[in-house]
């Protein structure tokens, strides 16, 4: 194969690998990596703190756990241990995407600053206004999001 042909094949293969790696988008992650070699979930905030401290708390890289292919940071070793013993309890709903957005069939960035804990589950939203709108009909919005998540969970953000 000639040089331009090999180059084109290499580019196509690289794009195919990149597309495959990004196709799922089940967890909302930050661009870049972590020392754990995985993308960062929850913008580096500690998911356990929402339950124990009742507020968002920035985690530390020295307390890292990996779940569903994403790295989570924790404010303490105890929080990391709690998460590792029951990640389904502490990981944000809908992979950390905006819960209201999931309710309308989209995957918008969930901000760790706009959150609600309901029925022992952490829900993130994209802005304060959207968070208030989500809370106005919390049960109805959660039902819509639950229904849509089954359809969109494994779809790439760009395909919604």
* Res. 151: pLDDT tops 70: yes
**Which two structure tokens, joined as six digits, stand for 117?**
């804990």
Average the pLDDT over 44-49 and give the result. 98
What is the maximum span of the chain, computed from C-alpha positions, in angstroms?
A: 63
Band (pLDDT 50/70/90 cuts) for residue 53 is very high
DSSP of 57-72, one letter per residue? Answer: -B-EEEEEEEETTEEE
* Percent of the chain whose pLDDT exceeds 70: 84
For residue 158, what pLDDT is reported? 87
51 vs 25: which has the higher pLDDT = 51
| Range with lowest mean pLDDT among 14-18, 59-63, 86-90, 125-129 | 14-18
pLDDT in tens, 97-124: 999 999 999 999 999 999 999 999 999 9
What percentage of the chain exceeds 90 in pLDDT?
72
pLDDT value of position 35: 76
Q: How far is CA 97 from CA 8, 17, 81, 103, in A?
A: 35, 24, 24, 11
Which H or E run includes 74? strand 70-74
Reading the block at residue 155, the tokens are 């779809």
For residue range 3-40, list pLDDT tens digits in order: 444 444 444 444 443 333 433 577 878 767 777 778 99
Flag the least confident range among 27-41, 69-83, 130-144.
27-41
Measured CA to CA, the distance from residue 79 to residue 85 in angstroms comes to 10
Concatenating the DSSP letter of every residue in 99-150 gives HHHHHTT--PBPEEEEEEEETTEEEEESSHHHHHHHHHTHHHHHHHHHHHHH
pTM of the model: 0.82
CA dihedral 102, 104, 109, 111 (to 10 degrees): -80
């Amino acid at each position: 194969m000639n040089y331009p042909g090999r180059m084109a094949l290499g580019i196509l293969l690289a794009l195919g690998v990149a597309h495959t790696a990004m196709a799922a988008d089940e967890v909302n992650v930050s661009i870049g990596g972590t020392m754990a070699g995985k993308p960062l979930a929850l913008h580096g905030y500690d998911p356990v703190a929402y339950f124990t401290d009742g507020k968002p708390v920035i985690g530390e890289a020295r307390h890292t756990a990996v779940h569903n292919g994403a790295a989570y940071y924790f404010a303490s070793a105890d929080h990391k241990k709690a998460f590792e013993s029951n990640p389904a309890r502490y990981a944000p709903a809908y992979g950390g995407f905006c819960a209201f957005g999931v309710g309308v069939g989209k995957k918008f960035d969930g901000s760790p600053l706009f959150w609600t804990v309901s029925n022992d589950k952490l829900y993130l939203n994209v802005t304060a206004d959207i968070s208030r709108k989500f809370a106005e009909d919390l049960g109805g919005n959660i039902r819509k999001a639950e229904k849509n998540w089954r359809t969109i969970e494994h779809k790439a953000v760009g395909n919604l």
